[in-house]
Structure 1
Amino acid sequence: MQSADVVILGAGPAGLLLANLLKRGGIDCVVLERTDRTRVQTRARAGFLAPNTLRILDRHGLAEGLHRNGKQHGACEFRTAEGRFRLDYGNLGRREPHTVYPQQYLVSDLLTSYLEAGGRVHFETEALAVHDTGTTRPTVAVREADGRLARWQARYVAGCDGRHGAARRSLPPGTVRHHRDHGISWLGLLAEAPPSLDAVGYAVHDRGFAGHMARTPEVTRYYLQCERGTATGDWSDGRIWDELDTRMYAAEHGPLHRGRILERGVVDFESDVIEPLRHGSLLLAGDAASLISPSAAKGANLAVLEAELLARALIADLAHGDSEALDRYSRQALEHIWRAQEFSLWMIRLLHREPAAPIGESFFHESLRRSRLESLRTSRSHQDWFAESYTGV
């Protein structure tokens, strides 16, 4: 049986930042990742990093690649049947823009830093279950790359392996899970096409929402609201581009740059939160701690914030004997999670029709949505609130 003081499940932003910080704090740790290294470094995910995420990475000397290749972005554009308006949110509220830096680049930076410092990562090692979480020596059952079963023993296990990972599957009976299905789905697309506007685009249309998010000068991410149950191959490339043109009002505001669809996937909007985030020797961070809709670009930013908080708590416990630090981690992280969930829900209601609402209620919700958009267009105080909430965690 192999061992480490902290066994980290998952090599995403949360797991790798946590590993870097523990390694620097003198804590023996190992990362177990079910996929191979190539997959870890090429998974295309979120790309809008919040100002606080940049501060955290700067604080620990992990932002070199981001500063070299990231691009500041501080504007979004809302399009509706009544017209369009732009919010330069980087000059509103706290006057803080996002930094566009695709998540796979950040993950590669964190992985390289950790390995160069002598850190341990076991790729193609699938965590199956976490046992004995109520004791001081939990174990993780794994399937290794060659198919053999093995165990790791730890003082603590950090579950950063997502919503469907072993950490969540190993939570004790009675764990509180707050869950909400929003009844909304997006077809997410990565296109080999330059951005069509110099802002994040949010289009509100009778046919459903459409979104435009620049990633690089050559690649753009798009979203199309679709029916629940849609499969990734149900829409042809031609239909996708035609629908994007329609919903983004290309006839009024100019055509979109078209290109090859590189990647597509369907996202069903669900939110959930686990409380608490500590279950004996098992601790949760990232998507294992909470699932949030992509409507407000909070997921990766929450993961980074939680990883720093968890690293501080583990170092305080293991290096300094602060036995209450990990309970504080849970309380502090949940405060940030619930604030992010609240704004995410506000964005969902701003951008989408109320699903399956009766006719009378549908008119009521649509009227409220138009009112929210008009207030956002005309009220400086509303714009300042939006900017602070949009970029904050």
Structure 2
Amino acid sequence: MIILGAGPAGLVLGNLLHASGIDCVILERAGRAHIQTRARAGFLAANTVRLLDRHGLAAGLHRRGHEHSTCEFRTEDGRFRLDYGSLGRGERHTVYPQQDLVTDLLTQFVNAGGRIRFETEALAVLGAYGAQPSVTVREADGRPDRWRARYVAGCDGRHGAARSSLPPDAVRRHHRDHGVSWLGLLAEAPPSLDAVGYAVNSRGFAGHMARTSDITRYYLQWDRDRPAGDWSQERLWDELELRMRASEYGALRRGRIVQRGVVGLESDVLEPLRHGSLFLVGDAASVISPSAAKGANLAVLEAEILARALVDDLAHGDGEGLAGYSARSLEHIWRAQDFSQWMIRLLHSVPTSDGAAQFDACLRRSRMESLRTSRSQQDWFAEHYVGV
């Protein structure tokens, strides 16, 4: 088995296959230091934690992660909090930076004798519809090479070799640009509130998400054509305080902004996710906006679904799971996309070309009021916010 990519999807898949005695190798185009320090979202759903627990992969997150169950909404009508951990199914998130999870999964894989090749760039997947597909690569020293296996798992993202190797007529792509962009900021600053903060403002959305006791991620709705470095740190903090109504609810705890980047909120789903001996997993299968923190959780869930199916096929000759992998994964993907779309419409003023901005603003206000006052709406929110 060849696994392309050493993110959460590839490393969970590699650990589960190796533990089941299935020979596999992970090919990763970046170096080890890079993937262990690449900052990503850190909200793990309750089901993701249970899954990692089930396979002995959760020791690090239990030691260093912390549970979280509250979000705060700030609007022109005031603010309110939801203890979503006591609503819906009564489930919480575990806050654990993705780079720490990747480090845990990688360490466990390598210590157990798993094979991984860093700085090995996959260029193309060939012969996916035949009996033995192959992957052409550029090795760390620049030499071309080719790897062969019975199956290939594309866990290498939306721009990786797995996606780019698919024949255009073999896949249906569902894409939506939501017309909204965020400037993501990572600040060396303690959290300013003990909740995830969502601020809906006429100037645009602002978000507050704690990562650790001294690192906080912020988001600002942003013109995607404006460079990420266009504003000074002081101006960014001033704008965050304006949008989050710090004059009413308390000043933000400032610190050095160490990372910034513009991300367009998009949805992108491929169907099907199986192409002969090639399977798409994680961001190679679907891209979801960060508005609902589903990306890494979907990746881990899909990796487990595929791992179980591969073990059934390779160890027991039962191919039923592989035949159903695409449909099972897409069911979860589309439910997550649905909630992500709902969150985008709740939090943002989305540009329109038909003069409907005021209409949309009134709908957002109505949705927010329902979320503040309706227990059934709160239960629905909690179930989908934490669920995958």
Distance 2:25 2:258 in 1: 33
Which residue type is aligned with residue 116 of structure 2?
V
C-alpha displacement of 1:319: 1.0
* Separation (CA, whole Å) in 1 of partners of 2:304 and 2:252: 39
Task: Note the C-alpha offset of 1:265.
Answer: 0.9
Give matches, 1:1-393, under 5 Å: 6-174=1-169, 175-359=171-355, 361-393=356-388
| Cα contact 1:44–1:104 (8 A) shared by 2 | yes
- For residues 354 and 183 of structure 1, the distance between their equivalents in structure 2, rounded to whole angstroms, comes to 6
SS in 2 for 1:377: helix
Residues 178 and 350, structure 2, Cα contact 8 Å, conserved in 1? no
Structure 2 distance, partners of 1:228, 1:19, is 36
CA distance in 1, matches of 2:87, 2:160: 39
Question: Which amino acid counterpart does residue 314 of structure 2 have in structure 1?
Answer: L
CA contact under 8 A between 1:8 and 1:157: conserved in structure 2? yes
Q: Is this contact kept in 2: 1:183–1:228, CA < 8 A?
A: no
121-130 vs 318-327, greater mean Cα deviation: 318-327
Unaligned runs of 5+ in 1: 1-5
Q: Deviations over 1:263-318 (max 9, x none)?
A: 11111111011111000011000000000000000000000100000100111111
Q: Which runs of 4+ in 1 moved over 4 A?
A: none
- Structure 2 Cα separation of the partners of residues 151 and 186 of structure 1: 39
Instruction: Report if aligned partners of 2:224, 2:262 keep a CA contact under 8 Å in 1.
Output: no
Distance 2:350 2:29 in 1: 38
Q: TM-score, normalised by structure 1?
A: 0.97
How far residue 236 of structure 1 moved from its aligned partner, in angstroms, is 1.5
* Cα shift at 1:234: 1.4
**Deviation of residue 357 (structure 1)?**
3.9
Structure 1 Cα separation of the partners of residues 178 and 325 of structure 2: 28
| TM-score of the aligned structures, taking structure 2 as reference length | 0.99
Which moved further from structure 2: 318-327 or 26-35?
318-327
What is the SS of the residue equivalent to 1:155? Answer: coil
SS at match of 2:146: strand
- Aligned-pair identity in percent equals 72
2-side partners of 1:229 and 1:317: how far apart?
Answer: 48
CA contact (8 A) 1:190 1:261 kept: yes
Q: What is the alpha-carbon distance in structure 2 between the residues aligned to residue 354 and residue 230 of structure 1? A: 17
Shift of 1:323: 2.2
Describe the SS at the equivalent of 2:150.
Answer: strand
CA RMSD of superposed structures (Å): 0.7
SS in 2 for 1:261: strand
CA drift at 1:322 = 1.4
Tell me the CA shift for residue 232 of structure 1: 1.8
AA in 2 matched with 1:198: D
CA distance in 2, matches of 1:236, 1:125: 38
Corresponding pairs, count: 387
